[in-house]
Amino acid sequence: MADIMRWDPFRDMVDLRDSIERLRGFSRPWRLITWDTRSVAFPVDLYETDDDVVVKASLPGVKPEDVHISVTGETLTIKAEAKSETEETNPNYYRQERHFGSYQRSLALPVRVDADKADASFEHGVLNLRLPKVAEVKAKTIEVKAKRAIEAKATA
C-alpha cells in the first residue's frame, strides 16, 4: 500500500523561496553589481567591538572631500563621488572599465551609536569609520556570587 503524506500548503512556498534564493546567487555573480545594473556599490566591512561599531569601505578613485557620511537613527549612509580628472580631446578607447559617478550605500547599524563622537579617516582609497556606542548599549559585566558565599557574609 502506498504511503499517505499529509498535505502542507506552506511546503510549496518554502520550496519556491529556496529556489529563488539559489537563483539569486547566479544573477549576481560579481560582488560590485547591484540589482540596478546602472549603479555600482562599493564593498563594506561592518563589525562591532566592545566600545565601537567599525566600518571599512573601499572607495577607489574617490577623494576624501567627496565622501559624505550621515547617521540617522540606526542607519548609516555613505555617499561618494568619483570624478574624472583627465579630458581626452581625441579619445580612441578600446575599453574603459573605470566607473565615474555617484555611489551610495545605506547600512543598518547593529546598535545605537553616538554620531557626534565618530572618527573617520581615509587612506589609500579605504574609508575607516569608528562610531562609538551609546553608553546604555555597551556590555556591562555582572559578577555572579555563589549563594553560600552570600549566606556566609550575612551570618558573619
Q: Is the distance from CB of 118 to CB of 131 less than 8 angstroms?
A: yes
Question: What local confidence, expressed as pLDDT, does residue 48 receive?
Answer: 92
* pTM score of the predicted model: 0.58
Looking at per-residue pLDDT, the higher value among 80 and 4 belongs to 80
Q: Residue 59: name the closest of 129, 119, 138, 115 by CA.
A: 129
What is d(CA 103, CA 69) in angstroms, rounded to the nearest whole number?
A: 12
* Residues 6+ positions from 147 with CB-CB distance below 8 Å: none
Is the model's pLDDT at 104 over the cut of 50?
A: yes
Question: What local confidence, expressed as pLDDT, does residue 5 receive?
Answer: 73
Is the model's pLDDT at 30 over the cut of 50?
A: no
Question: What local confidence, expressed as pLDDT, does residue 129 receive?
Answer: 95
Domain boundaries, the chain: 27-84+98-155
Identify the CATH assignment for 27-84+98-155 out of 2.60.40.790, 1.10.1040.10, 3.40.50.720, 3.90.1150.10: 2.60.40.790
Looking at per-residue pLDDT, the higher value among 4 and 55 belongs to 55
| Tens-digit pLDDT profile for residues 52-97 | 999 999 988 888 999 999 999 889 999 998 876 666 666 777 766 6
Question: What local confidence, expressed as pLDDT, does residue 34 receive?
Answer: 43
